[in-house]
Amino acid sequence: MRKIFFDHISTTPVDERVLEAMLPYFREYYGNPSSHIHEQGQYALRAVDGAREKVAGLIGATPDEVIFTSGATESNNLAIKGVASAYAHRGKHIVVSEIEHFSVLNALMPLMNRGFEVTYVRVDETGLVDPDEVRRAIRDDTILVSVMHANAEIGTIEPVEEIGKLTRERGVLFHCDAAATGGKIPIDVNRMNVDLLTLSAHNMYGPKGVGALYVRDGVRVDPLLDGGFQEKGLRAGTENVPGIVGFGKAAEIAIDEMDADAERLRHLGKALWDGLARRVEHIHFTGHPEKRLPGHVSFWVEFAEGESLLIFLNLNGVMAASGSACSSNLKAKDEEELVASHVLKAIGVPSDICTGSITFSLGKWNTREEVDYVIDIMPGIVKRLWDISPAYADYIRQQSGGQKS
Amino acid sequence: MRKIFFDHISTTPVDERVLEAMLPYFREYYGNPSSHIHEQGQYALRAVDGAREKVAGLIGATPDEVIFTSGATESNNLAIKGVASAYAHRGKHIVVSEIEHFSVLNALMPLMNRGFEVTYVRVDETGLVDPDEVRRAIRDDTILVSVMHANAEIGTIEPVEEIGKLTRERGVLFHCDAAATGGKIPIDVNRMNVDLLTLSAHNMYGPKGVGALYVRDGVRVDPLLDGGFQEKGLRAGTENVPGIVGFGKAAEIAIDEMDADAERLRHLGKALWDGLARRVEHIHFTGHPEKRLPGHVSFWVEFAEGESLLIFLNLNGVMAASGSACSSNLKAKDEEELVASHVLKAIGVPSDICTGSITFSLGKWNTREEVDYVIDIMPGIVKRLWDISPAYADYIRQQSGGQKS
Amino acid sequence: MSIGPYSQKVMEHFMNPRNVGEIEDASGVGEVGNPACGDMMRLYIKVEDGIITDAKFRTFGCGAAIASSSMLTEMIKGKTVEEALKITNEAVAEALDGLPPAKIHCSVMAEEAVKKAIEDYLQKQKEKTGE
Amino acid sequence: MSIGPYSQKVMEHFMNPRNVGEIEDASGVGEVGNPACGDMMRLYIKVEDGIITDAKFRTFGCGAAIASSSMLTEMIKGKTVEEALKITNEAVAEALDGLPPAKIHCSVMAEEAVKKAIEDYLQKQKEKTGE
Ligand SMILES: Cc1ncc(COP(=O)(O)O)c(C=O)c1O
Ligand SMILES: Cc1ncc(COP(=O)(O)O)c(C=O)c1O
């Protein structure tokens, strides 16, 4: 059976060139960058610094402003908690959008227990944050605004430049979670006026276990992990050298290929969107129709439950996600709250006819043929679920003027 | 030139079998374990759970008690800060040895700013913690004792079983940093009576960027990284799947080969120790002569500065460390405090004739021939430094009854 | 085949659910859940001489919910009303070779559905007798 | 060759330090640092007609300390006392093609050593004149 991976938003395959770049750092150059009096450590140190330049280059930063972490979750936690701790004397108010990733939203919880206040800025039905709402939310004691670059579940790209402009005017720090966009669409920390920016390697054809936090020169962040003097003292712990090298290589490749890839993905995404719109009844697309991640198509179908759809898709070789990867985590203790994601709620999706959106997120190796295949199988899968759905039966009865049995 | 890596305490080469086990998770199985409705995610989830069983097996724990982290520094921070936060209502006193790694000692700093008190238990001149001192340090409001399994700089193995027994008696949690011992000497969390234990993959022929924290069933730890529901909610963030798989494989190999390796390393270590004792004048070995890590030989030489020794060793192809890897990190802001490590100070090494110990830490692929080579070159290197040392010149003059010029 | 977090048995029932549909002249109907919470199960039973002679369902929900419904209908067919009332969610889950922890509530729904359907049946019986 | 954090020039001076030793009838001696702090430098100068005609050193310390000492002796030889007093730590570091940030203090030591040696020389001169 053909296998079609349409779940690049949860993670991406590692580019073979990235893996090739990493391999020597498992085999020949296994040193610890902190033990760099000798040759092995020196190779490792140079490799890390080389990767730092590349990652900095991807976002228009200087290498000194890039802190390597274990991933986007850590970067978000470091940004939120680190700024909160370093600037608590100035104020204890933080503004975020209501559709931030859990690693931003949940990082705020311990802060709220310590007296911080949070204003959640609403989004419209396409998932867009209104910069004016951000402006209104900023108070005299606001120290930080955090708005993501793009939302993974619904694909909407936020107006971060405008938000950056106004936070700069108001003298408030601006953090942007770019886990979903890094390496996929252009990022320029200066044009965006961001002070902190989260990147994730495994979302851009790099390895898992590595991320970065851009910290603008002069911005203070208290470390989350105390210990050695790595990463300018902002992130202790022996560096994940092969992972960082892989991240660097992924950044280098992205700089070269991002634009062409994005163009292709935009076309494929449009073909998928249009095909589904034509072939699947009762489909509702989520997110903004134009301001969205290239190759990202998200939607929900009335009377069809998300997980069941995903399982049938998988039985047909198609891998997709139900919104954010977390939402499909069956290990969660409290499943109830995961059913309709906070993102869907925020964009006003009616929870009585929708449980879970489907996110098709395409990657650089997906083809038009795969898109056509998925368009072809969707109607049949949806039909199967409708056939056993009590609500759909009621709906049909209603349409034909019948009665609920 | 031959290259001899005698710095396994700062990091180890990745075992080729470990790398082989990891590779499929970069290439074929790149899924995100949280997105496990589909096949890719499912492979990833199973891989992580499989590794968890192996790591648990290495230390006599159950898989549910193993939390994967990004490394020993994170594990130590999670243990110290996580327990402090979860048990602050019971008390705000923590007991640690004075020779803990920076990732324990520095993790205490933010706690002390929040009202925690810390008692530092002294070590004797061999680096041993006296369990009775620990007993005396425990107060009614003590919630945690943290003593490392072995110290990386001087190799001393601490009496953790005895400490575990008494903390258990006193109803105080016991955390043990086993970053330097995991996979090298046997660890049994039940025999040791530990409640939390730190492991590091890259110190046992596994990859960098992965570690684990053992958390005994029933012990509460507040997370450091908030976000998704990974690792039972104790450690958010997409799992470093290939890294975790590598860690699992390294654990599996260690279970099989640790005893034989340790035996060999003990012999090599003894040969190195004896050879240096015979051939190098004014040498002072550090740490305990018997209760020490296999293949670990640490010492300092009067009138010979550590970094210079290391550079000359490296020029001769021999890679070693100056105590903890941090101590040789020239990027540190405050170099002064790094000169004589806190460990050397703790064991009473006179700081006016010693600057920096040398740590030779052997690994499973080192040979007797390499040991002999190092013994051969050491006297010449030391002599070279003495020849330009003013203090040595004074010493020689003194010996011959002369005067300081 | 087993897929995702589910046993082969769950998948088998998910892909080929038994007894999907409605019973025109059902003796009792039980409905539990609510689409807003992600799942809804509607169970129809036909009772003759105190024995459940037929059972059908429609379910909106995840794989476990559909499989639990399907398994439940198989389990109650041929049982007396009293026997059917004793079916626990554990029994449903066990018959499916287990469910992931987060999905146990689906088997609970199945248990509740049969209880409600029988309640409905008994209520209707009472109404009939009362007439 | 460059190794670790050091430039080729530093390594060259570290491996083959120039002017190691003592000057029996030194005109001035400057000692800075302290082994407890990791480094100690002792500089001997010979001054004739206000010109430094010879310089020797002994240093205990890291690679940068040894290289800075060696470079310093090369730099001051042939200079007048006044010229030598103007040598800055930056000049020493620059002559070595740079030092890592954490090692700048080694070049500072070198600057201080020459100042102290000259001070000692001037002091001795005064004492001589004073006699
Ligand atoms: C926008 C965004 N931020 C952060 C994260 C967290 O990433 P990770 O799990 O790799 O730490 C995700 C992952 O889905 C994301 O989509
Ligand atoms: C005993 C001990 N604990 C913790 C650490 C920190 O390990 P890492 O830098 O891999 O996080 C080290 C590293 O040297 C160590 O020796």
Q: Which of B97, B154, B203, B208 to mutate to test the pocket of ligand 2 (most atoms within 8 A of CB)?
A: B203
Ligand nearest to C-alpha B208: 2
How big is the CA angle at B85 (ends B83 and B87), to the nearest 5 degrees? 65
How is chain A split into domains, by residue range? 4-8+258-399, 16-254
Q: What is the DSSP string of A236-287?
A: -S---HHHHHHHHHHHHHHHHHHHHHHHHHHHHHHHHHHHHHHH-TTEEE-S
Nearest-angstrom CA–CA distance, C95 and A267: 47
Nearest-angstrom CA–CA distance, B294 and A305: 58
Residue A149 near residue A178 (C-beta atoms within 8 A): yes
| Per-residue pLDDT reduced to its tens digit, B379-390 | 999 999 999 999
What is the distance in A from the centroid of ligand 1 to the CA of B27? 21
Nearest-angstrom CA–CA distance, A128 and A158: 6
| Per-residue pLDDT reduced to its tens digit, B245-269 | 999 999 999 999 999 999 999 999 9
Number of neighbouring beta carbons within 10 Å of residue A150: 27
Average pLDDT estimate for D46-74: 94
Q: Please, what is the end-to-end C-alpha distance for chain D in angstroms?
A: 52
Q: Measured in whole angstroms, how far is the alpha carbon of residue A50 from the centre of its chain?
A: 25
Contact A229 B27 (CB under 8 A): no
Ligand 2 atom showing the smallest separation from residue B148 Cα: 1
ipTM for the predicted complex comes to: 0.90
List the beta bridge partners of residue D51. D48, D80
Q: How confident is the model at residue A215 (pLDDT cuts 50, 70, 90)?
A: very high
Q: What is the DSSP string of D31-66?
A: EEEEGGGTEEEEEEEEEETTEEEEEEEEEES-HHHH
| Per-residue pLDDT reduced to its tens digit, D77-118 | 999 999 999 999 999 999 999 998 888 888 999 999 999 999
Pick the closest to residue B237 from A214, A107, A236, A333 (CA basis). Answer: A107
Amino acid letter for position B279: R
Looking at residue D1, its pLDDT comes to 43
What is the distance in A from the centroid of ligand 2 to the CA of B179? 6
Nearest-angstrom CA–CA distance, B119 and B111: 13
Record the pTM. Answer: 0.92
Q: Measured in whole angstroms, how far is the alpha carbon of residue B405 from the centre of its chain?
A: 45
Q: How confident is the model at residue A342 (pLDDT cuts 50, 70, 90)?
A: confident
The answer to whether the Cα torsion of A146, A148, A153, A158 is positive or negative is: positive
Nearest-angstrom CA–CA distance, B352 and D82: 34
Q: Is A34 on the interface with D (CB under 8 A)?
A: no
| Per-residue pLDDT reduced to its tens digit, B171-230 | 999 999 999 999 999 999 999 999 999 999 999 999 999 999 999 999 999 999 999 889
Looking at residue B92, its pLDDT comes to 98
Ligand nearest to C-alpha A238: 2
**Min Cα–Cα distance to chain D from B136, Å:** 33
Q: How far lies B21's CA from each of B15, B29, B50, B66, in Å?
A: 10, 12, 12, 20
CATH of domain A16-254: 3.40.640.10
Looking at residue B176, its pLDDT comes to 98
Nearest-angstrom CA–CA distance, A43 and C97: 53
Helices marked H in B60-150 — which ranges? 72-87, 102-105, 108-113, 131-137
Amino acid letter for position D51: I
Which superfamily is assigned to B4-8+258-399 in CATH? Aspartate Aminotransferase, domain 1 (3.90.1150.10)
Contact B38 C4 (CB under 8 A): yes
Contact B225 A36 (CB under 8 A): no
Pick the closest to residue B316 from B368, B382, B267 (CA basis). Answer: B382
Task: Report the catalytic residues of C.
Answer: 37, 106
Looking at residue B357, its pLDDT comes to 85
- In three-state secondary structure terms, B157 is strand
Q: Is position B326 annotated as part of the catalytic site?
A: yes
Q: Is C102 on the interface with B (CB under 8 A)?
A: no
Q: Is A171 on the interface with B (CB under 8 A)?
A: no
Phi-psi region of A287 (alpha: psi -120 to 50; beta: other; left: phi over 0): left
- Comparing alpha-carbon positions, the chain D residue that sits nearest to A42 is D4
Average pLDDT estimate for A256-279: 98
Contact C60 A335 (CB under 8 A): no
Average pLDDT estimate for A152-165: 97
Q: Which of B23, B326, B391, B393 is catalytic?
A: B326
Task: Report the catalytic residues of D.
Answer: 37, 106
Amino acid letter for position B337: E
Contact A352 C17 (CB under 8 A): no
Looking at residue D34, its pLDDT comes to 77
Q: What residues of chain B score a pLDDT lower than 50?
A: 324-338, 405
Nearest-angstrom CA–CA distance, B236 and B229: 6
| Per-residue pLDDT reduced to its tens digit, A11-58 | 999 999 999 999 999 999 999 998 888 888 889 999 999 999 999 999
